[in-house]
């Protein structure tokens, strides 16, 4: 009498699912290699050579946005300007979109009818209209309709808002910063040590022996002590000022300025992504069992304490995984900046492509840059997600 194992050994290899999976992977790999070889052969037949030597050549065009750049600088420098512009708008956008989404997601679950409906209307309108349309609206119907610089709106700070963008105060490094930064390093090192001790004590005795307030105290008190001990102020606030130049030309000097294109793109990405994050937050909060809320309310917790201390910490393990996708979408959606003239990674690369004629090389650089940014975001958020899962266990 045959056993189940002996019957399985008699199955022909062309019907064995394990063999078929390996063969399928081999065939797929061979197809990919064949396509790559065909593309390289076709590229060479056209008399073209795959090379990045053009990056050392003079760019011969100007970039008005980003770090310092001159037409005599190289293509590599121009590409760096585009990458930094994209990282800047993506980094600020991720922070602001998270705050907006968190507030809106909580507001949608509010018992206040008006607050809940306002959040719902915002989410439904933004999620059901294309981002490109929203960018056009924000740029042409909002930013460009603001007063001109001579009639700029002065906000607290002071900050100047006009159709040229926004100028805000910005901290600058002073000469004494070289004496102050060791205190910053010591504060971070002390905070890290305390966090490690807290984690080990929690694993050993089930509760942290050091309160979290001491971690924050290190981050505040040590730099403050350094500020008092170091001669002079390590940082100074560069306040913008509206100045009239020769010929009656108005200009804002000081602070840091964000162009109208940058402002429109940032607003568009924040408002659009914030609506999706709000739904992620709402779903995460509703995933927490109602018994948790009822038990906390029975113990005398206020609604704010219940949300901050009980609901949100448990909801984070549900919120973080889809939040990663929203951060990636925000970063990749920044490529729509070309529609409103912002000099991001894609817009600068397009200019490089048109002048150098290096289509394949430039597009490889574009894809590689977006891939690197996406993988970095995924790595950071996956580490955070892993930490949250460990805390939950």
Of the candidates 169, 162, 171, 143, the one whose C-alpha atom is nearest the C-alpha of residue 251 is 162
For residue range 84-133, what is the model confidence (pLDDT) as tens digits? 999 999 999 999 999 999 999 999 988 889 999 999 999 999 999 999 99
With vertex at residue 373, the alpha carbon angle to CA 346 and CA 30, rounded to the nearest 5 degrees, is 90
CA–CA separation, 195 and 210 (whole Å): 9
Spell out the residues 6+ positions from residue 5 whose beta carbon is closer than 8 angstroms to its own: none
Q: For the chain, what is the mean pLDDT?
A: 86
Using the predicted structure, report yes or no on whether residue 300 has a pLDDT greater than 90. no
More confident residue, 202 or 310: 310
Question: Burial level of 24, CB count in 10 A (0-12/13-18/19+)?
Answer: exposed
* Helices of type H across the chain: 4-9, 17-45, 75-108, 113-127, 131-136, 177-205, 212-229, 260-286, 290-298, 303-305, 312-333, 345-356, 359-392
For residue range 309-327, what is the model confidence (pLDDT) as tens digits? 888 888 888 899 899 999 9
What pLDDT is attached to residue 137? Answer: 95
Give 170's strand partners: 238
CA–CA separation, 347 and 220 (whole Å): 41
Classify domain 57-169+239-392 by CATH number: 1.10.3720.10
What strand order describes the sheet that includes 153-155?
153-155, 159-162, 165-168, 256-259
Spell out the residues 6+ positions from residue 262 whose beta carbon is closer than 8 angstroms to its own: 65, 85, 89, 165, 342
DSSP state of 176: T
Share of the chain above pLDDT 70, in %: 93
Neighbours of 185 (CB within 10 A): 11
Q: Flag whether the pTM goes above 0.85.
A: no
Share of the chain above pLDDT 90, in %: 37
User: Scanning the structure block, which residue is given the tokens 């266990």?
Assistant: 393
All structural domains of the chain with their residue ranges? 57-169+239-392, 177-229
Record the tokens describing residue 166, joined without a space.
């926004």
More confident residue, 151 or 267: 267
Using the predicted structure, report yes or no on whether residue 175 has a pLDDT greater than 90. no
pLDDT band (50, 70, 90) for residue 134: very high
What pLDDT is attached to residue 115? Answer: 93
| Backbone angles phi and psi of 299, in degrees to 5 | -85, -5
Collapsed DSSP state (helix, strand, coil) of residue 73: coil
CA–CA separation, 349 and 363 (whole Å): 8
Collapsed DSSP state (helix, strand, coil) of residue 237: strand
CA–CA separation, 147 and 168 (whole Å): 17
């Amino acid at each position: 009498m045959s056993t189940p194992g002996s019957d399985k050994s008699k199955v022909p290899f062309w019907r064995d699912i394990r063999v078929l999976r390996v063969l399928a992977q081999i065939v797929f790999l061979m197809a990919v290699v064949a396509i790559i070889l065909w593309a390289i052969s076709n590229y060479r037949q056209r008399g073209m050579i795959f090379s990045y030597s053009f990056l050392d050549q003079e760019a011969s065009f100007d970039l008005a946005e980003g770090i310092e750049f001159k037409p005599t600088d190289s293509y590599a420098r121009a590409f760096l300007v585009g990458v930094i512009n994209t990282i800047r708008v993506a980094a600020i956008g991720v922070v602001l979109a998270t705050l907006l989404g968190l507030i809106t997601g909580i507001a949608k679950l509010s018992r206040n009818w008006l607050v809940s409906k306002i959040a719902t209307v915002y989410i439904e309108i933004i999620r059901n209209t294309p981002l490109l349309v929203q960018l056009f609206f924000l740029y042409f119907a909002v930013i460009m309709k603001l007063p001109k610089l001579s009639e700029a709106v002065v906000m607290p700070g002071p900050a100047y808002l006009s159709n040229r963008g926004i100028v805000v105060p910005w901290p600058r490094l002073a000469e004494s910063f070289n004496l102050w930064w060791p205190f910053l390093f010591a504060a971070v090192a002390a905070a890290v040590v305390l966090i490690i001790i807290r984690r080990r004590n929690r694993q050993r005795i089930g509760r942290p022996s050091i309160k979290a307030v001491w971690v924050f105290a290190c981050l505040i008190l040590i730099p403050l002590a350094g500020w008092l001990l170091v001669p002079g102020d390590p940082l100074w606030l560069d306040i913008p000022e509206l100045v009239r130049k020769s010929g009656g030309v108005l200009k804002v000097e000081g602070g840091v300025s964000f162009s109208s294109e940058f402002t429109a793109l940032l607003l568009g990405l924040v408002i659009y992504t914030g609506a999706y994050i709000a739904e992620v937050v709402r779903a995460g909060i509703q995933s927490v069992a109602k018994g948790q809320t009822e038990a906390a309310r029975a113990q005398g917790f206020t609604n704010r304490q219940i949300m901050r201390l009980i609901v949100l910490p448990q909801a984070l393990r549900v919120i973080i995984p889809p939040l990663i996708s929203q951060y990636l979408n925000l970063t990749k959606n920044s490529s729509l900046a070309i529609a409103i003239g912002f000099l991001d990674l894609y817009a600068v690369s397009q200019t490089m492509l048109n002048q150098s004629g290096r289509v394949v090389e430039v597009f490889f650089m574009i894809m590689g840059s977006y891939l690197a940014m996406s993988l970095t975001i995924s790595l950071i958020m996956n580490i955070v997600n892993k930490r949250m899962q460990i805390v939950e266990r």
